[in-house]
């Protein structure tokens, strides 16, 4: 990128309606016996100290809200060996060894990181690769393992993913909520975050990805972010998409989120991403899953999805040249060829329901109809790295998956290739970062900033952006 500042979109969405704290100082508590009437007069005047009573954010925090490790089945299957603890060490500025044995270190530590491993079959591959005897007792798994150990890992990976995606994965070795493998994996993810969390210095935030893939591969993925510590997060296993326990419908995810909050007293939110790969499903205005977009739908979506991930390695999702013909940057790192797995081609009529800018406009139409705008969201960026560490720097980019880690051939190979579309590895972007205006570097403060929508996205550079308004936006 020749001009980092110009080419790095500052995808700001500081939708601050009702979010900006008042500048009035409130009542001053006196502990020295002064006349309260005199203090009332003093309260009405601004204090001499510019910092007295200050309770609003004064600097942005830069971080990652979308990161996968070897505990995600796809990441592990394609060679990732790094786990959550490695991810947090890297985010804090430590040098680590990559999946291909190369030393790697971020130029400047992040302020916060959320490890969001896929909830479906979570933890399977790391246990499989370690030779867990309970898994290898299954003949199919033993065959995969023998291929894996004989140097035919790619063949084993293809067989595993094909079996999983076609519903032919042996059910007795699936890692599903309630099983020992699943519970142990979730507990270990939480433990890694608890160990890495340093309030005031670095926030290791608990989370996971709910990976809804509709039809032949239309993307409706969400990352679930916790405000809470492990004492609450451990009380419920994550929501999955596989039946009979799971669902592909976001409405059912929101129900799970409500059940979690009711049971634990905690707080969670969901961040959708890659509407550009949803083939027109991400921002519906008429119906979804055969059900109408009605007052209940817009109310629940507005409640649970206050933030949208607008840029990452799989394309920038702010707008498209067809939607913003006068924006010279509208074609920046877009993926607009097909759905997530390139099984169904993109058509122009889908675009309006895939990109953030058009969603903001359609949200106002829905507000006029139902009184609530479901698409009045803040925005963040993140990487969706499947390496076990967050790589969003142009001159330090290790790719999205292990095959893209630095090697002479990495820009010459396709990332996805089907009869419908080809996406080359050079089209995978070094993006992005989530930025929040939080009052302090803690899980709760960062979460609250997201709830207030005091956030923005960049494609990787650490630009400070602030937008203040004295009117309701």
Interval 284-334: pLDDT, tens: 999 999 999 999 999 999 999 999 999 999 999 999 999 999 999 999 999
Return the higher-pLDDT residue of 16 and 179: 179
Average pLDDT over residues 371-389: 97
216: left (phi over 0), alpha (psi -120 to 50) or beta: alpha
Average pLDDT over residues 69-93: 95
- Dihedral over Cα of 56, 62, 68, 71: its sign: negative
pLDDT value at residue 21: 41
pLDDT value at residue 34: 52
pLDDT value at residue 467: 82
pLDDT(24) > 60: no
Per-residue pLDDT reduced to its tens digit, 267-287: 999 999 999 999 999 999 999
Enter the tokens of residue 446: 């960062």
The SS3 call for residue 127 is helix
Per-residue pLDDT reduced to its tens digit, 214-254: 988 899 999 999 999 999 999 999 999 998 899 999 999 99
pLDDT(17) > 50: no
Band of pLDDT at residue 60, cut at 50, 70 and 90 = very high
Average pLDDT over residues 401-406: 93
Band of pLDDT at residue 38, cut at 50, 70 and 90 = low
- Residue 176: name the closest of 107, 130, 251, 241 by CA: 241
Separation of alpha carbons 161 and 169, rounded Å? 9
pLDDT value at residue 4: 42
Total-model pTM: 0.88
* Percentage of residues in the chain having pLDDT higher than 90: 74
Summary mean pLDDT of the chain: 89
Average pLDDT over residues 154-181: 86
The SS3 call for residue 136 is helix
Band of pLDDT at residue 78, cut at 50, 70 and 90 = confident
Separation of alpha carbons 440 and 56, rounded Å? 10
Cα-trace Rg, the chain: 23
Band of pLDDT at residue 35, cut at 50, 70 and 90 = low
- Residue 240: name the closest of 221, 218, 265 by CA: 221
Return the higher-pLDDT residue of 32 and 23: 32
DSSP state of 79: T
Average pLDDT over residues 448-471: 90
Band of pLDDT at residue 466, cut at 50, 70 and 90 = confident
pLDDT value at residue 453: 95
pLDDT(25) > 50: no
Least confident among 41-45, 260-264, 394-398: 41-45
Separation of alpha carbons 346 and 354, rounded Å? 11
pLDDT value at residue 472: 64
pLDDT value at residue 155: 81
Q: In which element (H, E) is residue 189 found?
A: helix 180-196
DSSP state of 133: H
pLDDT value at residue 43: 59
Average pLDDT over residues 23-44: 50
Burial environment of residue 307 by CB neighbours within 10 A (0 to 12, 13 to 18, 19 or more): buried
pLDDT(140) > 70: yes
Q: Cβ distance 281 to 218 under 8 Å?
A: yes
- Residue 393: name the closest of 350, 433, 450 by CA: 433
> Which residues have CB under 8 Å from 207's CB, separation 6+?
65, 114, 115, 116, 223, 224, 225, 226
Band of pLDDT at residue 30, cut at 50, 70 and 90 = very low
């Amino acid at each position: 990128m020749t001009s980092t500042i110009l080419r790095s979109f500052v995808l700001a969405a500081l939708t601050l309606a009702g979010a900006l704290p008042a500048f009035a100082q409130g009542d001053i508590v006196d502990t020295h016996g002064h006349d309260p009437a005199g203090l009332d007069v003093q309260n009405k005047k601004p204090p001499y100290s510019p910092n007295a009573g200050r309770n609003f954010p004064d600097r942005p925090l830069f971080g990652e809200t979308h990161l996968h490790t070897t505990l995600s089945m796809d990441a592990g299957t394609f060679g990732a060996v790094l786990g959550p603890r490695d991810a947090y060490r890297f985010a804090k500025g430590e040098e680590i060894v990559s999946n291909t044995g190369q030393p790697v270190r971020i130029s400047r530590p992040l302020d916060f990181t959320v490890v969001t491993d896929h909830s479906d079959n979570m933890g399977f591959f790391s246990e499989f690769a370690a030779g867990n005897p309970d898994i290898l007792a299954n003949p199919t798994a033993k065959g995969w393992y023998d291929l894996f150990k004989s140097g035919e890992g790619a063949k084993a990976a293809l067989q595993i993913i094909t079996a999983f995606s076609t519903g032919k994965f042996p059910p007795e070795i699936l890692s599903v909520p309630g099983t020992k493998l699943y519970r142990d994996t979730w507990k270990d993810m939480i433990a890694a975050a608890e160990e890495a969390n340093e309030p005031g210095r670095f926030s290791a935030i608990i989370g996971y990805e709910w990976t809804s893939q509709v039809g032949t591969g239309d993307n409706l993925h969400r990352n679930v972010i916790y405000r809470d510590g492990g004492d609450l997060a451990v009380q419920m296993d994550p929501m999955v998409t596989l039946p009979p326990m799971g669902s592909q419908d976001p409405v059912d995810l929101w129900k799970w989120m409500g059940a979690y909050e009711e049971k634990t007293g905690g707080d969670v939110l969901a961040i959708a991403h890659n509407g550009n790969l949803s083939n027109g499903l991400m921002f519906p205005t008429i119906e979804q899953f055969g059900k109408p977009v009605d007052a209940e739908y817009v109310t629940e979506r507005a409640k649970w999805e206050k933030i949208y991930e607008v840029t990452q390695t799989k394309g920038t999702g702010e707008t498209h040249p067809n939607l913003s013909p006068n924006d010279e940057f509208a074609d920046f790192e877009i993926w607009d060829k097909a759905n997530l797995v390139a099984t169904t081609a993109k058509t122009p009529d889908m675009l309006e329901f895939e990109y953030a800018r058009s969603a903001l406009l359609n949200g106002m139409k829905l507000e006029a109809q139902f009184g609530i705008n479901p698409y009045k969201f803040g925005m963040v960026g993140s990487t969706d790295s499947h390496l076990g560490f967050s790589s969003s720097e142009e001159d330090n980019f290790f790719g999205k998956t292990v095959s893209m880690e630095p090697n002479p051939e990495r820009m010459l190979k396709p990332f996805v290739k089907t009869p419908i579309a080809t996406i080359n590895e050079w089209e995978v972007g070094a993006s992005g970062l989530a930025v929040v205006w939080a009052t302090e570097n803690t899980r709760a403060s960062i979460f609250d900033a997201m709830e207030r929508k005091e956030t923005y996205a960049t494609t990787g550079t650490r630009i400070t952006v602030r937008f203040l308004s004295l009117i309701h936006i």
